[in-house]
Amino acid sequence: MDNLLVRAQNLSKYFTDSSGIHKAVDGVSLNIHRGETLGIVGESGSGKTTLGRTIMRLYRPEHGQIWFDGKEITNLNKGKLRPYRKEIQMIFQNPYESLSPRFTVGEILEEPLYIQKIGTKKERMDKALRLLEKVGLPRTSYHRKIHEFSGGQRQRIGIARALILEPKLVIADEPVSALDVSVQAQVLNLLKDLQAELNLTCLFISHDLSVVHYMSDRVAVMYLGHLIELAPKEELYRNPIHPYTKSLLASIPVADPERRNPYREPIILPEKPLYPPQLVNIGNDHYVSANMIHIKKFEIESYQQEMSYYK
């Protein structure tokens, strides 16, 4: 069986407004393997949310192709997409806005089943109750409304809603950035547990590098609509190559006052190249945009030159 769940090739999504074309996602190619968590980091406006939504086919891409589970879904129309909606589900950023205040928790959880015409009324209710337990909420929450829950609990409901259709791919779009740090930990742990239990494939989008590191197997870095670096997480955190990735890593606050460093690396924000960069494998499954390879080589060469002066 094919090990790839999602294959995106040269994906682009543009938005047009009065000021012209804005290339939100430009020429991004990536694969998501079955059972892995791929993290996507980048600043706001770098196109990471747009990429997630395009993979889910909430947007129709301008260029490129998407394969899901071996079948191309790039140009399917609404009706043909419906079965795929069941396979790809999304966890949204803000649990205060993405859950309807007029529905009870039961109605929120059962709505996807109802739309997909799955099960009888009784079966749907059973399933909703089972999921409530799974995400650590009491069964009595079924008849309550959203305003009775705290932020962390709401996000649990959001997770339950995404999982009720037993999707193959879950796209989590900044699932904890609206929550307090103390609540963040429990939601992350829950997601990780569920992922292991249900063998989920997950696309985890966040601007917080430490959270992405905790959740993911591989990490992709987006910058101004381009994918600039992609590597297994240990490799990326040990050996970042693109200057933007380096700045990102240097900006994480270190939770240890003893290691406070007054001479931190400056933040470098390179200009956007005209064309989407070509990713090159430099070993250890570490892909980096090709024009940065030259810089790396140059650094090595100039370093060697310096060395030779000392001799």
Partner 1 sequence: MDQHILHVKNLSVSFNKNKNKMTAVSDVSLQIDKGQTVALIGESGSGKSITSLSVLQLLPPNGQLEKGSITFKGKDLLKQSEKEMRRIRGNEISMIFQDAIASLNPGMKVGVQITEGLKYHKLVPKSDLKAEALQLLEQVGFKNPAHIYEQYPVQLSGGMKQRILIAMAISCKPQLIIADEPTTSLDVTIQRQVLDLIDNYKSDLDASVLLITHDFGVVAEYADWVYVMLGGHIVESADVYTIFKNPVHPYTKALIESIPNPEKSQERLKSIQDFTFEKVGYKGRTFAPETYTLESKSFNAPSSLVEVEPLHYVRFYDDERKVVSIG
Q: Which residues bind partner 1 (CB under 8 A)?
A: 43-45, 136, 151, 177, 180-186, 188-189, 192, 207-211, 213-214, 237, 247-248, 251-258, 260, 264, 267, 269
Nearer to partner 1, 37 or 89 (CB): 37
Residue among 170 and 211 whose Cβ is closer to partner 1 = 211
Return the number of the residue (21 or 252) whose C-beta is nearest partner 1: 252
d(CA 143, CA 128): 11
Name the DSSP class of 275: S
Round to whole Å and give the CA distance between 220 and 244: 12
**Main-chain phi, psi angles of 106, to 5 degrees:** -60, -45
Nearer to partner 1, 6 or 211 (CB): 211
Q: Which residue's CB is nearer to partner 1, number 126 or number 193?
A: 193
Q: What DSSP state is assigned to residue 284?
A: T
Report the residue number, 97 or 123, with the smaller CB distance to partner 1: 97
Tell me the closest approach of the beta carbon of residue 269 to partner 1, in angstroms: 8
Alpha carbons 131 and 163: distance in angstroms, whole number: 8
List Cβ neighbours of 282 (8 Å cut-off, separation of 6 or more): 241, 288, 293, 296
Q: Least separation, in Å, of the C-beta of 28 and partner 1?
A: 20
Residue with tokens 């589970």: 69
Whole-number minimum distance, CB 247 to partner 1, in Å?
6
Smallest distance from partner 1 to CB 217, Å: 13
Q: Supply 86's token pair.
A: 């069941």
Q: What's the closest the beta carbon of residue 283 comes to partner 1, in angstroms? A: 21
The first and second tokens of residue 206, run together, are 């966040």
Could you tell me the sign of the dihedral formed by the alpha carbons of 189, 284, 203, 238, in that order? Answer: positive
| Least spacing, CB of residue 170 vs partner 1, in Å | 19
Q: Specify the residue for token string 């099960």.
A: 119
Shortest distance in whole angstroms from residue 206 CB to partner 1: 10
Q: What angle do CA 216, 220, 223 make, to 5 degrees?
A: 140
Which is nearer to partner 1, 18 or 182 (by Cβ)?
182
Contact indicator for 244, 266 with CB cutoff of 8 Å: no
